[in-house]
Chain A
Amino acid sequence: MIDSFYIAWKYLAFSKARSVTLVACITLIAVLPLALEIILDESEHQLVERAEHTPLLVGARGSALDLVMNSLYFADEVPGRISLASADAITATDLAFAIPLYVRFRARGFPIVGTTLDYFDFRRLRLAAGTPFGLLGECVIGASVASELGLQPGDSLLSSPETVFDLAGVYPLKMRVAGVLAPTHSADDLAVLVDVKTAWVIEGLVHGHEDVARSRDSSVIIERSESNVIANAKLMQYTEITEANIEAFHLHGDPTGYPLTAVIALPHDDKAAAILRGRYQNTDSGYQIVPPADVIDTLMTNIFRIRNVLDAVILFVGLATLMALVLVFALSLRLRQREIDTIFRLGCSRLTIAQLLGAEIVIIAAFSAVLCLLILAVVAHYDQQLVRALFI
């Protein structure tokens, strides 16, 4: 009987540091390109699929990439603002249907997407629980938001203040979770969807506060006349919209001038799309209209250029590491020459000695493969989040 694996295992267990180093090196060589492949595939999938399903985006003139990344993947970089009137203008052309987007605020790190219920139909979003947002201050959260924050319909979620030190800035709004989306494996899983008016509440454009006409607190009222009351910043602002105070919420000024970050334009047909694009060609308009697929195509070209460079780097590093491993095994053979001579003298064949050393390599390779698969499973499980962290 030849117990190559038993003897090899004993040797590897005895030389723990060497064995662990070898397993780590081999795992790294294998994991790096494979994990990169998974992440790049996922990024390609996420970016391209969503872009291809979004015909046109209208936004403020500036970086087309920022506009697309913010509107499709809710990236942190906020593009220039356009007004609600621009959405109305698109609808008025009768060339396309317009869905407004206001993606500026965050709630516990997740993007708050101010939009309309049309967005649900457009993205084919299904609710796993609860109802769509119906009232001001309600939100529908993505599947990943729900699982990561442990929220369900009826729970509350606070929007994040923009800056802690700006006392006159955006106050957190306590939003009621009306529904939870079924998983979509897209950026919507990580979004907090609200009515665009709720986003304006967060910005303070639509707000609710105690009735200044009834207030008798002299430290709040600056000036009072028969037709007008002027109060100072001490006036209590509502940070939660309830049945009791919803009537107190109101807007100031013309709502058509209220901000959006983008408008998703859904042309009725190709001809309508071409005409619509033509109307935004004027560089003085302050607007741009972009097909997201074209923008993402350019981005993917750059990513794949980086991918080729990375592949080459990994190949060289892998080759260097493999050579180092061969050297380690060769040095190990020299160090163990006496042991090899002894077992040869005892009556062992050279083939058996090779078998013993081969068993060590097989065990190391098996451990590396298992570790590699585990890491790849983790990468595959968190690929969406990784893609968002790395690319979006």
Chain B
Amino acid sequence: MISIESLHFAYPQDGFSLQIPAFSVPTGQKLAVIGPSGSGKTTLLNLVAGIYPPDSGQIQVAGVQLNALADAARRDFRITQIGFVFQDFELLDYLSVLDNILHPYRITRALKLTPGVDRRARELAEQMGIGDKLQRHAGDLSQGEKQRAAICRALLPQPKLILADEATGNLDPDNKLHILDLLFEAVDQQGATLLAVTHDHELLPRFGRVVDFNDFRSGSAV
């Protein structure tokens, strides 16, 4: 699913650089990336999502070489093939839960909002346990409910890859295990691949594979 070769990326402002000689993630794998703060975990997610173009090297996602795509094509690829789950959920408070879940469909021409999509959004919300809160504003939800809504938003376009950036970082211990289970279940159902960045070592045994960010530098993460 993900294949990285000879990747080099540096922020022009502070000189922080990231080098990954070789790294791959097979389809369907649930991979956790751990590492100290500031080591570049979120940067890796942004590179894989095509938000940052690498300075050199290649990134392939689902067989598509991202840095060969034009901006518009890369954005369309991202919104249709990659789902994002953020630590702070990043829901829009002024939209209802249903509108938040359907939001990607309203901001791009690459996705078509049809009655079928609307039905699937409701089913997904039901599956995540927030089916009765679809008409409430996102700001009125609990932390756990917000993350469930955010996961629904990420999964609705049926992406091939889910990128989770500290997705359980703001949740209480009971909630984070439950949310992770729900995320895994949904990922399995859709046959997607999960690349999650986390600090939480308690969650690591649940992942199929764990990569320490330090291994990238030594080249042993392949």
Contacts and interface: CB of A to CB of B under 8 A. Distances in A.
Contacts of A338: 90
Nearest to A12: B94
A342 B79 contact: no
A346 interface: yes
Contacts of B46: 345
Interface in A1-16: 1-3, 6-7, 10-11, 13-15
Nearest to A11: B94
B3 to A, nearest CB: 21
Interface in A288-344: 338-339, 342-344
B39 interface: no
Q: Which of A2, A346, A349, A356 has the most CB of B within 10 A?
A: A346
B105 interface: yes
Interface stretch (B8-16, B29-37, B107-115, B187-195): B107-115
A352 B110 CA distance: 12
B95 A7 contact: yes
A7 B106 contact: yes
A2 B86 contact: no
Interface in B76-132: 76-80, 82, 84, 86, 90, 92-95, 99, 103-113
Given A342-B86, A345-B84, A2 B108 contact: yes
B43 to A, nearest CB: 13
B79 A347 contact: yes
Given A1-B105, A10-B99, A14-B137, A347 B110 contact: yes
A360 B137 CA distance: 19
Q: Which of B99, B108, B112 has the most CB of A within 10 A?
A: B108
Contacts of B78: 346-347
A352 B107 contact: yes
Secondary structure dominating the interface of B: mixed
A347 B106 contact: no
Given A14-B93, A14-B94, A338-B90, A346 B105 contact: no
A33 to B, nearest CB: 34
B191 to A, nearest CB: 21
Given A1-B112, A348-B79, A7 B107 contact: yes
Given A10-B94, A14-B93, A345 B51 contact: yes
Interface residues of B, number: 32
Nearest to A356: B107
Contacts of A6: 106
Secondary structure dominating the interface of A: helix
Contacts of A346: 78-79, 84, 103-104, 107
Contacts of A347: 75-80, 82, 104, 107-108, 110
Nearest to B82: A347
A1 B113 CA distance: 7
Contacts of A348: 75, 79, 107-108
Interface residues of A, number: 22
Nearest to B112: A1
Contacts of A339: 90, 92
Given A10-B99, A347-B76, A349-B75, A15 B94 contact: yes
Contacts of B99: 10
Contacts of A2: 106-109
A378 B177 CA distance: 63
Interface string A342-367: 11111111001000100000000000
Contacts of B137: 14
Contacts of B80: 347
A223 B93 CA distance: 93
B161 interface: no
Nearest to B89: A342
Q: Which of A339, A343, A345, A356 has the most CB of B within 10 A?
A: A345
Interface in B49-76: 49, 51, 71-72, 75-76
Contacts of A344: 51
A10 B95 contact: yes
B48 to A, nearest CB: 12
A47 to B, nearest CB: 52
A344 B46 CA distance: 12
Contacts of A11: 94
A343 to B, nearest CB: 6
25 contacts: A1-B105, A1-B109, A1-B113, A2-B106, A3-B106, A6-B106, A7-B103, A7-B107, A13-B94, A14-B137, A15-B94, A338-B90, A345-B46, A346-B84, A346-B103, A346-B104, A346-B107, A347-B75, A347-B76, A347-B78, A347-B80, A347-B110, A348-B107, A348-B108, A356-B107
Given A10-B99, A344-B51, A347-B75, 19 more contacts: A1-B112, A2-B108, A3-B107, A6-B106, A7-B95, A11-B94, A13-B94, A338-B90, A339-B90, A339-B92, A342-B86, A343-B107, A346-B84, A346-B103, A347-B80, A347-B108, A348-B108, A349-B75, A356-B107
Interface of A: 1-3, 6-7, 10-11, 13-15, 338-339, 342-349, 352, 356
Nearest first, the 4 closest Cβ-Cβ pairs linking A and B are A347-B79, A14-B94, A3-B106, A347-B78
